[in-house]
Amino acid sequence: MRVVVALGGNALLKRGEPLTAENQRRNVAIAARALAPLAHDYQLVISHGNGPQVGLLSLQSAAYDEVEEYPLDILGAQTEGMIGYMIEQELGNLLPIEEPLAAILTMVEVAPDDPAFGNPTKPIGPVYSEEEAKRLAEERGWSIAPDGEHWRRVVASPEPQRIFEMRPIHWLLENGATVICAGGGGIPTAYKPDGTLEGVEVVIDKDRASALLAFELDAGLLILATDTDGVYLNWGTEQARRIERTTPEQMDQHEFEEGSMGPKVEAACDFVRRSGGRAVIGSLSDMQGMVDGTAGTQFVLE
């Protein structure tokens, strides 16, 4: 069976931790321990978020004033390099040398007329106080939005339409490699009227891109790993209750937070509807339970 695991930004960096190389590496090593058994048992594909990282690289790029800031497609490509490398190295350290790993850069197409371009929802970079976020929005022309108790920069997040590297990803899987790809939702690109492809200044949601990836790969299972143990109804209230098992049809009756659980639920439902496979949202620390169907929120067709 093919399994696609999407590692959430919050699975790669604990909330509130500074985004140092050391902190990232420690969290990637934890994720690698959860993933290593799957690499052995399944055709495993790993994708990952990049919200905190692409935001940091944007701040670093802006802080050095002798070269103008790099656009989000190039920064996204940098994060695929950085995070993909750490996952490959840490997972490789847990697997026998005979088990091959490959991290492949992934470009994803979006539609230039996607309405998301006019409605930024995807949080990137660090959290700020409301006051500081509003000052930065003014200074740098950012869009900002609340994220829990804090505020963050938000950017447009159009729908992923196509993953360009599907054939290479297939070939690697067929030869037994664990493949790391579609990092940060893929490097965002769109066709110009002249038919050439160019980068665009957005960040694609990695759960949506992972759902597309899992569908294209005919995966039997899509796991969206985060830092909470599933999807909750009445989140933040005394009636909060984790959903153990659900269907896309049941989930249509509820609304979830945009920029957080919303896109995850939507991605899980989309994958289950299109493929008939199973999707799970849950905690990285419950990986085996999510695979076995005993942990997280399990999404099935009926």
Active site residues: 9-10, 122, 206, 264
Using CA atoms, how far residue 127 sits from 130, 185, 273, in Å, is 9, 21, 34
Residue 88 tokens read as: 């490959």
Select the residue interacting with its own copies from 127, 163, 172, 284 (CB under 8 A).
172
**Contact between 141 and its own copies per CB under 8 A:** no
Q: Encoding tokens for residue 259?
A: 């920029």
197 binds its own copies (CB under 8 A): yes
Pick the closer one to its own copies by CB: 138 or 198. 198
Residue 113: both structure tokens together: 């007329």
Distances (CA, A) of 134 to 52, 125, 144, 152, 281: 19, 15, 7, 10, 33
**Smallest distance, its own copies to C-beta of residue 300, A:** 34
Region from 13-21, 130-138, 232-240, 241-249 binding its own copies, contact rule CB under 8 A: 13-21
| Among positions 1, 20, 244, 254, the unique one binding its own copies when judged by CB under 8 A | 20
Q: Give how far the C-alpha of residue 77 lies from the chain's centroid of Cα atoms, to the nearest Å.
A: 14
Residue with smaller CB distance to its own copies, 106 or 246: 106
Question: Considering the rule CB under 8 A, would residue 224 count as an interface residue with its own copies?
Answer: no
Distance CA 202, CA 154 (A): 10
* Residue of 131, 175, 252, 302 that binds its own copies (CB under 8 A): 175
Instruction: Indicate whether 239 belongs to the interface with its own copies (CB under 8 A).
Output: no
In the complex, least distance from residue 165 CB atom to its own copies, rounded to whole angstroms: 6
The backbone torsions φ and ψ at residue 301, rounded to the nearest 5 degrees and listed phi first, read -70, -40
User: Is the CB of 127 or the CB of 243 nearer to its own copies?
Assistant: 127
Q: Which residue, among 181, 157, 180, has the nearest Cα to 264 in the 3D structure?
A: 157
| 86 part of the interface to its own copies, by CB under 8 A | yes
Give yes or no for residue 63 binding its own copies (CB under 8 A): yes
> In whole angstroms, what is the distance from residue 151 CA to residue 144 CA?
7
From CA 74, how far away is CA 212, in angstroms rounded?
22
- Closest distance to its own copies from the beta carbon of 61 (Å): 5
Task: Write out the H or E segment, with its range, that includes residue 22.
Answer: helix 21-41
State which of residues 30, 82, 137, 300 lies at the interface with its own copies (CB under 8 A).
82
Binding region for its own copies (CB under 8 A) out of 2-10, 57-65, 230-238, 276-284: 57-65
User: In 122-203, where do the E strands start and end?
Assistant: 122-128, 143-147, 150-155, 162-163, 178-180, 187-191, 197-199
Of the candidates 107, 73, 86, 68, the residue with the CA atom closest to the CA atom of residue 22: 86
Our finding on whether 275 is near its own copies (CB under 8 A) is no
The one among 11, 103, 269, 290 contacting its own copies by CB under 8 A? 103
Binding of residue 100 to its own copies (CB under 8 A)? yes
Q: Could you tell me how many residues of this chain bind its own copies (CB under 8 A)?
A: 56
Contacts of residue 196, Cβ cutoff 8 Å, sequence gap at least 6: none
Residues at the site binding its own copies, with contacts judged by CB under 8 A: 18-21, 56-57, 59-68, 70-71, 73-74, 77-82, 84-86, 88-89, 92-93, 100-105, 107, 126, 164-165, 167-168, 171-172, 175, 177, 180, 187, 189, 196-199
